[in-house]
Chain A
Amino acid sequence: MSALLEVEGLGVSFPLGGWPARTLRAAHDVSFSVDRGELVALVGESGSGKSTIARAIARVTPAAAGAIRLDGVDVLKTEPRGPSQAYRRRVQMVFQDPFASLNPVHRVLHHLERPLRLHGHATGADARSRAAELLDLCGLRPGADWLDKWPHELSGGQRQRVAIARALAVQPDVLLADEPTSMLDVSIRTDVLRLLQRLRDERGLAVVLITHDLAAARLVADRVLVLYAGQLMEEAPAATLLSAPRHPYAQLLVAASPRVGRSLDHDLPARPGRPVVVDPGSGCPFAARCLIAEPRCATVDAPIVEVGPAHRARCHALTG
């Protein structure tokens, strides 16, 4: 049986114009799947394409290549002109900035009531009690007390809970959370991450967590996918990826992440540089920074190879 959400060979590019025309390749040949009751983290730095991939799955950014299958149906084929209302209901997104994602001139209730009514999940007075339940679920208890508050009365963490409650109002199957904690204070990040985990466990949601923070991914994700310059470099169970990364870029990311007893004396295992996403050509995008790069790395796309149970990486050095 196939997984709930399958992404295969996804490519997203943006034309930049100019003469000769240049193209920004934001995502290239990205494949992964997320099942019900699973939380998968897409980890990468700026320019890695992690948000673009989420937006392509939400279909707010058009995909240039590949397939996005929900319950085995490739929606890029069946709904080529844009997502159906049914798809938009089943795949919901939570954004990074909780200060921008709520409308300042509407109370909390309005944000929850609208999706409930538009998607036919509640009418009249029923909407109010359903909205209160959603807030309860998201840790604003008792929910009824929060319905009449204005966004400006809420802290960042509380707003993010409202944003998550709004996404849940339409009973989605997939929740795409784009850096939901990066604008929150450290002391409340854990709580919001735990909420995503609870939704996975109690509601069987498939959660895709977009983050730059390996510690956050390690805390709540079942699997971690590492992206660089729009390509999937490595995928592994969270514990494996953090303890035994195989791709040189994943190793760099792990080495640079905060750790107990970190010292600033050791040099990172890579040359400085940035991902090249404008007209990148073929070859491994990390080759120029990689300490073990071979001549073929700069010219030939590396294949994804299995390196262990549920563990794969895209590197020539691992092909033997």
Chain B
Amino acid sequence: MADVLLTVRGLEVSYLTADGPVRAVEGVSFDLRRGEVLGLVGESGSGKSTLVRGLLRVLEPPGAITGGDVHFDGIDLLAASEDALRALRWRRISIVPQAALNALNPVLTVGAQIVETLDAHGETSPTRARARAAEVLELVGIDPTHLRSYPHELSGGMRQRVALGLALACGADLVVMDEPTTALDVVVEHELLQRVAALQAQRGFAVLFITHDLLLLDALADRVGVLYSGRLVEIGPADVLARGGRHPYTRGLRAAIPPALGEDRVPVALDGSSPNLRSPPSGCRFHPRCAAADAACRVTETTRRELGPGHLVASHEEAP
């Protein structure tokens, strides 16, 4: 399909430890269309950060991609040279990290960092770079007088907005957001998400939004994928998943969250914890915690089944 921007097929990422490889991401496949917001949700140990680092090719050893294909707009990302990757980064693919305080250079002013980024990615005129840096701040609702501010002089929410502005500065088609609101208070989080949604609607970039917060994706994402123990157990339209989803883990995760405002239900905790990736359970990895598990779940690998348009779930054939 021409409108598919990012294709991930059977991606496998491992950590090569002294005791042998530990597969942190396994058999993950999905497509991301142009202008689409895809949310990936997972708890700690689900492999969500490893997945992102893998497909952006920023994994640090002992992490390594051990299988699969990743294509971005026809370019094979896993085979691309460092130079080819450098040409893509920021101009076509950018990232908003979790903790912007760590992502911004503490000894450079905000303006200097934006100018530096623009300069490294094709803006040759210093005057124009400075003018564009002011535009970048205005885009994310920060007064351009803050071009002279250092990161420590800004609040957490403003720093996160600077990081968002930087990610959009070079007109990327794909913006990866790795838990950008985790460190923020709810009011500031709401403001940032609102801005992301408005800018996305206005400029039409695609977003891959990584989070542990399923509720957040209800309002923001077009589609949602659920990761468990390194595997994608379900992916589907956000409104379908907002109604509960199909995979027992998706349903369990939602049922375990304290009810949101306006919701009247008794939360049911998910027993147990995510499996140790060094010795994952056989069959479906969720079976030790799953109330619906039967004998097949313990031994047989799950397959991907299509339940509706764009709605895939990892399950056993005999499952309803």
Contacts and interface: CB of A to CB of B under 8 A. Distances in A.
A319 interface: no
B269 A219 contact: no
Contacts of A214: 186, 261
A262 B259 contact: no
Interface in B254-272: 256-263, 267-270
A186 B261 contact: no
Contacts, number: 112
Interface string B178-209: 00000001111111011001000000000000
Contacts of A45: 185-188
A215 interface: yes
A242 B253 contact: no
A215 B261 contact: yes
Given A155-B273, A157-B273, A264-B220, A186 B213 contact: yes
B138 to A, nearest CB: 15
Interface in A249-265: 252-264
Nearest to B183: A46
A259 B262 contact: yes
Contacts of A157: 273
Contacts of A257: 186, 260-261
B241 to A, nearest CB: 13
B258 A218 contact: yes
A188 B273 contact: yes
Contacts of B212: 185-186
B105 to A, nearest CB: 23
A190 B219 contact: no
B155 interface: yes
B185 A46 contact: yes
A256 B187 contact: yes
Nearest to B193: A264
Interface in A239-297: 242, 252-264, 267-268, 270, 272, 274
B48 to A, nearest CB: 12
A256 to B, nearest CB: 4
A189 interface: yes
A152 interface: no
A190 B262 contact: no
Interface in B272-295: 273-274
B218 interface: yes
Q: In the complex, which of the residues B252, B258, B267, B268 has the most CB atoms of chain A within 10 Å of its own CB atom?
A: B258
Contact of A186 (B156, B186, B257, B268): B257
B187 A253 contact: yes
A10 to B, nearest CB: 23
A258 B215 contact: yes
A188 B262 contact: no
Contacts of A106: none
Given A190-B258, A274-B155, A258 B187 contact: no
Contact of B44 (A156, A216, A242): A156
Contacts of B260: 215, 257-260, 262
Contacts of A256: 186-187, 189-190
A272 B195 CA distance: 13
B187 A187 contact: no
16 contacts: A185-B212, A186-B253, A186-B257, A187-B257, A190-B256, A190-B269, A212-B186, A215-B258, A215-B260, A218-B258, A253-B186, A254-B261, A259-B263, A261-B262, A262-B215, A272-B191
Given A188-B273, A215-B261, A218-B259, 20 more contacts: A45-B187, A46-B156, A46-B185, A155-B273, A186-B214, A186-B256, A190-B257, A190-B268, A213-B258, A214-B261, A218-B261, A219-B259, A219-B267, A242-B261, A253-B187, A259-B262, A260-B218, A260-B263, A261-B262, A264-B197
